[in-house]
Structure 1
Amino acid sequence: MEISNYSKQQANAEAAEAVAELRRSKLAAELTNTELGSEMQVSRQSVSKKFRNGDMRLSDFIQIARLAGDLPSSILAKAEAKSALADKEVA
């Protein structure tokens, strides 16, 4: 994929996939939104909203990944691979 042809829509889709992958990591670590909220010093509802929106601040993404015992780069790599596979299926 050429960088000049990379749209905002594609970026949003890839970000949403990264957040979905982060959610899977959180579930695998058996972390609740309440536990994450406590660690992040925000409410359970705020954590839920971060996942529901499919987009979050990079610092929140990194913190949640680390709390789940995962590497943020690993989660992003999985999301990127899924996005690339989806792009191939569409093409």
Structure 2
Amino acid sequence: MAKEQTYIMQEAACNAVDYLRRAARANDLTKTQMAHIAGVSTPTLDRRFEDGDLRLSQFLKLAAAAGVKPSDAIKLCDDAVATYNQSAKALADKEVRDEHGA
């Protein structure tokens, strides 16, 4: 279950970071400008976008530069996490039922 949770959380993070990337591009920010704003090199920013793993300070700076609220990007994570929680609860309930022969 831990692997699945890690995957879900990674996907949720990627959704938020991808939202920022698209918003920045929609506001005509180049990769070079975004990297400068985030305080990293362009290759490093590319890796972080690919991994969906930005530092919070970078995330906030890019959101401000892209003209979006960080909470809008984070909201994209909610569904992935809620889906994981529901499936984990359903699996736990099934295991309990199976143990009790129900």
Tell me whether the two structures share a fold, i.e. TM-score over 0.5: yes
Alpha carbons of 1:45 and 1:27: their partners in 2 closer, same or farther (altered >3 Å)?
A: same
Corresponding residue of 2:7? 9
Alpha carbons of 1:41 and 1:18: their partners in 2 closer, same or farther (altered >3 Å)?
A: closer
The answer to whether the 8 Å contact 1:17/1:83 transfers is no
Corresponding residue of 1:3? none
Q: TM-score, normalised by structure 1?
A: 0.71
Q: TM-score, normalised by structure 2?
A: 0.64
Number of equivalenced pairs:
81
CA RMSD in angstroms, aligned pairs only? 2.4
Q: Which has the larger radius of gyration?
A: 2
Gaps of 5+ in 2: 88-102
Q: Which runs of structure 2 are paired with 1:1-91 in the superposition (5 Å)?
A: 7-77=5-75, 79-80=76-77, 83=80, 87=83
Gaps of 5+ in 1: 1-5
Higher helix residue share: 2
